[in-house]
Structure 1
């Protein structure tokens, strides 16, 4: 996942996290198996259709998880940029204060 790689390159991923789970890196299991899915049947004995429906729902949940991971990565990258900007602002303020302190003793 491209955003995850960017997040890692920016140093915003804890080493303990490791890579995203395989389920979020690969394609949908529905796409890879080529199954035609249907909603569960009314009959209690229609196990195959029920299993296919569950498989489809798991695929839908995976898609949502991938979207959420992408959004979290984007937010992480934005937070990294904001952190860098804040550090720059604080450094500028600090250097401005040091210059003021240096000027005061000369005026006395």
Structure 2
């Protein structure tokens, strides 16, 4: 499932997909290739080729590059400084898995 709060750009020469998201955007990583390929009705590449493209996810203008899960905070991803505090100058992420009240998990991004 893809929400309305995003734009995308496909660069065939670079074999890249750029996803530009805003607040509350929903992108299902399990189905992103199928959904974008379906939206590209005039695509001059096969679905198999498209699956080899590298995705890049931007939240507003910040490229989300991922991080390591913090040892004392499950599902929290970020970098620690020398004192063990989360670096504030880099994005960090918190994933809340789905529970009985939510149908899907939730990713919170701190910029």
Shorter-chain TM band: under 0.3
With normalisation by structure 1, the TM-score equals: 0.22
Larger fraction in strand: 2
Larger Rg: 1
Structure having the larger proportion of residues in helix:
1
TM-score normalized by structure 2?
A: 0.22
